[in-house]
Structure 1
Amino acid sequence: MYYLAVFALYAFVFAFGSIIGSFLNVVVYRVPNGLSVAEGRSFCPRCHAKIRPYDLIPVLSWFILKGKCRDCGQPIAARYPLVEAAGGALAVLCCAVYGFHLQALTAFAVAAVLLPLSLIDADTMTIPDGLLVALAVPAVASYFVMPGPGLAARAIGFFAVSLPMLLLTLLIPDCFGGGDIKLMAVCGLLLGWQRILLAGFLGLLFGLAAAVRLLVRRRGDRHSHFPFGPCLSGGVFLSLLWGDVMIRWYLAFCGIL
Structure 2
Amino acid sequence: METVLEVFLNIIIFLIGASIFSFLNVVIYRVPRKLSFVSGRSMCPQCGKNLKAIDMIPILNWIFLKGKCRFCKGKISIRYPLVELLGGIAAIASAYIYGYTLQTVLIFAFFGILTVTAFVDYDTMEIPNEFVVAALIIGVFAFFAFSDISFLSRLAGGVCVSLPMLLITFLIPGAFGGGDIKLMAACGLFLGWQLTLLSFFLAVLGGGAYGGWLLITKKKGRKEHFAFGPFLCAGMAAAVFIGTPIINWYAGFLI
TM-score (norm 1): 0.95
Kept in 2, the 8 Å contact 1:200–1:236? The answer is: yes
Report the residue type matching 1:108 in the other structure: F
Instruction: Report the equivalent of 2:118.
Output: 118
SS at match of 1:66: coil
SS at match of 1:189: helix
Report the residue type matching 1:8 in the other structure: F
Give the whole-Å Cα distance in 1 for the aligned partners of 2:253 and 2:58. Answer: 44
Q: Deviations over 1:81-137 (max 9, x none)?
A: 111111111111112222222211111000011001101111111111111111122
Instruction: Report the equivalent of 1:235.
Output: 235
Instruction: Report the equivalent of 2:138.
Output: 138
Q: How does 1:60-209 map to 2 (within 5 A)?
A: 60-209=60-209
Report the residue type matching 2:222 in the other structure: R
Change (3 A) 1:97 1:216: farther
SS at match of 1:31: helix
Structure 1 gaps, min length 5: none
Report the residue type matching 1:136 in the other structure: L
Q: CA deviation at 1:160?
A: 0.8
Q: CA deviation at 1:74?
A: 1.1
Q: CA deviation at 1:76?
A: 1.1
Query: Which of 172-181 and 200-209 deviates more?
Result: 200-209
Change (3 A) 1:238 1:147: farther
Give the whole-Å Cα distance in 2 for the aligned partners of 1:137 and 1:228. Answer: 23
SS at match of 1:68: coil
Change (3 A) 1:63 1:146: same
Report the residue type matching 2:89 in the other structure: A
Give the whole-Å Cα distance in 1 for the aligned partners of 2:47 and 2:65. Answer: 16
Query: Which of 96-105 and 128-137 deviates more?
Result: 96-105
Give the whole-Å Cα distance in 1 for the aligned partners of 2:85 and 2:242. Answer: 22
CA RMSD of aligned residues (A): 1.3
Query: Which of 134-143 and 21-30 deviates more?
Result: 134-143
Query: Which of 203-212 and 27-36 deviates more?
Result: 203-212
Kept in 2, the 8 Å contact 1:148–1:191? The answer is: no
Kept in 2, the 8 Å contact 1:18–1:84? The answer is: yes
Give the whole-Å Cα distance in 2 for the aligned partners of 1:117 and 1:99. Answer: 26
Instruction: Report the equivalent of 1:253.
Output: 253
Q: Deviations over 1:6-33 (max 9, x none)?
A: 1111111110000011101000000000
Q: CA deviation at 1:186?
A: 0.5
Give the whole-Å Cα distance in 2 for the aligned partners of 1:2 and 1:215. Answer: 53
Instruction: Report the equivalent of 2:27.
Output: 27
Report the residue type matching 2:72 in the other structure: C
Q: Deviations over 1:223-257 (max 9, x none)?
A: 221111111111111222232322222111122xx
Q: CA deviation at 1:148?
A: 2.8
Instruction: Report the equivalent of 1:44.
Output: 44
Kept in 2, the 8 Å contact 1:214–1:220? The answer is: yes
Structure 2 gaps, min length 5: none
Report the residue type matching 2:218 in the other structure: R
Query: Which of 164-173 and 196-205 deviates more?
Result: 196-205
TM-score (norm 2): 0.96
